Amino acid sequence: MVNASERIRWYPGFREIALLCLVILYAPLIIVMIYSFNDSPSITVWKGFSFVWYEEVFTGPEAERFKQATVNSLLIAVCAAITSTAIATASALAMIRGRRFRGQAITFGLINLPLMVPEIVTAVATLIFFASIGFDRGILSILLAHIVFCIPFAYLPIAARLQGIANVYEQVARDLYATPGQTFRLILFPMMLPGILSGFLLAFIISLDDFIITNFVKGAGVETLPTAIFGAVKQGIKPNIMAISTLMLVASFLLVTVAYFISRMGDQSK
Amino acid sequence: MAGIIKKTGDSAKSADGTQTSIVDGRQHLLLLPAWLIIGVLLVIPVLLMLTYSFLVQDFRGGVIWEFSLEAYDQFFFDRGLFGDEPPSIEWTYIGIFWRSFVQALFAMIFCFLIGFPTAYFIATRPQKSRAFWLFLVTIPYWVNLLIRTVSMKFLIRDNGPINTWLLSGGIIDEPIGMINTSFAIQLGLFYSYLPFMVLPIYASIERYNFALSEAAADLYSSRWMTLFKIVIPSVRPGIIAGCILVFIPSLGAFLAPDLLGGAKNFMIGSLVEEQFKGQAGDWPFGAAVSMILLSIIMVILLFYARAQIRQNDGGH
């Protein structure tokens, strides 16, 4: 019986296409990783394994520039992720635990608006906004722009988690005379934590990733890691770019893995 | 005192019988930050951009606050070098939009052709390996898009690994010129947004009831007939969502055309960027191009929302 239904679900070639899909997704990344260990200044001829380009990243002539860009990127990503996660948590509570209210659909649309407006349009609009109010373009303008598009990414896992928590726990706490603040702090917040953490991590990654909007709203001389890499790539792909790319790949991979296990942990504790 | 009695009286139900909630009375306060941030930093800027598209370019940079249709006129009409000839249709920018549209459409089609079978295959795996497959497809989604585009550029360059291997293998005599072609942009868009297609389709197929496929088989439907007549119509919402998630970012993409397409193969993203960061410096024109792009996308999303609503109504 199981075999029969298995056979009905099966389509010839789908497994091969799925494998092809993985090859397409990973091949360019893996090849860049391999070549980042190449001991050769000409980047396509393989001359043996070496860490020389990683040394170059940390001690070479461009090291200072990339270090500053990394510090900027991390600073912005941490601040944007914390702020957007806090905003998203408050919004999710109001949207999911509150009564229906007029404008709820519009509010939902507003929270997801940054996902619907194409990045390049958001970039243009934000640049025009900052320029017309005379806002100094630098770290702060980048941070503000990042908070906006991080909100929906933080909101989705938090709202999903909150929807999965039955509201009997809060009801019981309230029946036992807990104040709303205590109920949130002692009951709801710990239960929401997996969603909040994965929301934070996703917002963090999204902020770290952004190029287009950052490129528009950054002032002259202020760089984040993606804008610094873009600037360098414009002059040709040098091996140290591949080393930086590999480091960023590994960092993204670790963050996504952590986010994945946190959300799985949350599902199991349900 | 009254509050306590009410609470103890009827297990956290308020007078009108609805359940009380910890956010009662604080709902608007909790939503205020999101309203403020997105309102001030996205809604107002988009309205300001709309305003800018009707202003006059200041050649020292920025704009002159004076109403004008010049930016839109420049987009659609050609009035000769000195602006005194009778207007004819200006094809340059419409052409860029058309090219972007076609490229985004093909990116969508290729993503579907690879993405649908992949999503179907993952959704029919046993629970354990399904999570692993899903994890593998999700990772590239979160890897920096710039890094992924640069990797693709590295791979297909004239002296990149693909050409080097083909040359040393004696398969070709001179490098295949892949970089700086529209093929490269197509490949880049496909590669950038492939996970966007797989994930929503997967979510739809996971909810699909395979008893339907079995019933179809019992009624002598062939395998492929079942796929086209039963499975695909059932998971249509996921397919449409995937197509939109690929098409919209492809239409306004900047990195793939800029890094892979080179200077000749302009797309909308590069056209806009040039008005603000590049040589052109024509802010009203850049704002007008952005507004046209945004309008096209809003129309697409509107049709999508209407189709969703109709589908939900039909389901009940």
pTM of the model: 0.87
CB of A39 closer than 8 Å to CB of A47 = yes
Domain count, chain B: 1
The pLDDT value given to residue B310: 79
**pLDDT given at position B4:** 38
Residue B4 counted as domain residue:
no
Which residues, at least 6 apart from A175, have a Cβ–Cβ distance to it below 8 Å?
A: B7, B8, B11, B12
User: Would residue B209 count as lying in a domain?
Assistant: yes
**Helices B91-123 and B283-315, axial angle in degrees (round to 10):** 40
Query: Smallest CA–CA separation between A145 and chain B, in Å?
Result: 7
**Structure confidence by residue, pLDDT tens digits, B132-179:** 898 899 888 888 899 999 999 988 888 788 888 888 888 888 878 888
Q: Dihedral of the CA atoms B5, B9, B12, B14 (nearest 10)?
A: -80
> Given an 8 Å threshold on Cβ–Cβ distance, is A121 in contact with B46?
yes
Q: What is the mean pLDDT of each run of 10 residues along chain A (270 residues)?
A: 70 92 93 86 74 84 89 96 97 90 89 92 96 91 96 92 87 87 89 91 91 92 92 85 90 85 67
The answer, yes or no, to whether residue B2 has pLDDT greater than 60, is: no
Q: Does the distance separating the beta carbons of B117 and A17 come in below 8 Å? A: yes
Torsion of CA B114, B119, B120, B122, to 10 degrees: 120
Nearest 5°: the CA angle B173, B177, B183 is 135
Burial class, B277, CB count within 10 angstroms (exposed 0-12 / middle 13-18 / buried 19+): middle
User: Has residue B92 got a pLDDT over 80?
Assistant: yes
Model confidence at B17, pLDDT cuts 50, 70, 90, reads very low
Task: Work out the burial of residue A94: count CB atoms within 10 Å of its CB; fewer than 13 is exposed, 13-18 middle, 19 or more buried.
Answer: buried
Task: Give Cβ neighbours of residue B207 (< 8 Å, ≥ 6 apart).
Answer: none
- CA-nearest residue to A142 within chain B is B41
pLDDT attached to residue A57: 83
The pLDDT tens digits for B252-298 are 999 999 999 877 778 999 999 989 887 778 899 999 999 999 999 99
Q: Which pLDDT does position B9 carry in this prediction?
A: 35
- Percent residues over pLDDT 90 in chain B: 45
pLDDT of residue A2: 54
Identify which of A186-200, B39-53, B69-83, B277-291 has the greatest average pLDDT. B39-53
Residue of chain B whose alpha carbon sits nearest to that of A205: B142
3-class DSSP string for A138-199: CHHHHHHHHHHHHHHHHHHHHHHHHHCCCCHHHHHHHHCCCCHHHHHHHHHHHHHHHHHHHH
Given this model, what pLDDT does residue A3 score?
67
Distance set, CA B289 to CA A214, B48, B81, B274 (Å): 20, 14, 21, 11
3-state SS, residue A134: coil
The predicted pLDDT at position B95 comes to: 93
Is B11 domain-assigned? no
Answer yes or no: are the C-beta atoms of A188 and A194 closer than 8 Å: no
Would the CB atoms of A119 and B252 count as touching at under 8 Å? yes
Residue B18 maps to a domain: no
What is the b/e burial string over A172-194, where b = at least 16 CB atoms within 10 angstroms of the residue's CB?
Answer: ebbeeebebeebbeebbeebbeb
pLDDT band at B314 (very low <50, low <70, confident <90, very high): low
What is the domain extent for residue B79? Answer: 33-315
Amino acid identity of residue B39, one-letter, is: G
Answer yes or no: is B122 within a domain: yes
Q: Which of A102-111, A137-146, B82-91, B300-309 has the highest mean pLDDT?
A: A137-146
- Would residue B25 count as lying in a domain? no
CA distance B74 to B86: 13
The span from the CA of B106 to the CA of B139, in Å, is: 24
Q: Is 50 exceeded by the pLDDT of residue B62?
A: yes
Residue of A128, A148, A255 lying closest to B49 (CB–CB): A128
Distance CA B273, CA A229 (A): 18
Give the SS3 label for residue B66: coil
B108 contact A CB<8A: no
Identify the helix (H) or strand (E) that includes residue A112: helix A104-116
Going by pLDDT thresholds of 50, 70 and 90, the confidence category of residue B12 is: very low
Alpha helices in chain B (DSSP H): 2-9, 27-38, 44-52, 70-76, 91-123, 127-142, 145-156, 161-168, 182-207, 211-218, 223-226, 232-234, 236-251, 255-256, 268-276, 283-315
CB contact under 8 A, A10 and B301: no
ipTM of the complex: 0.88
What pLDDT is attached to residue A255? 86
Domain harbouring B163, CATH code: 1.10.3720.10
Q: Distance between CA atoms of B37 and B43, rounded to whole angstroms?
A: 9
Q: Is residue B207 part of a domain?
A: yes
State how far residue B14 is from chain A, nearest Cα, in angstroms.
12
Average pLDDT value over all residues in chain B: 86
Judge whether B61 lies within some domain.
yes
Least confident of B2-6, B54-58, B229-233: B2-6
Q: What are the helix (H) ranges across A49-62? A: 52-59
Q: Which single residue is written with the structure tokens 């190449």? A: A38
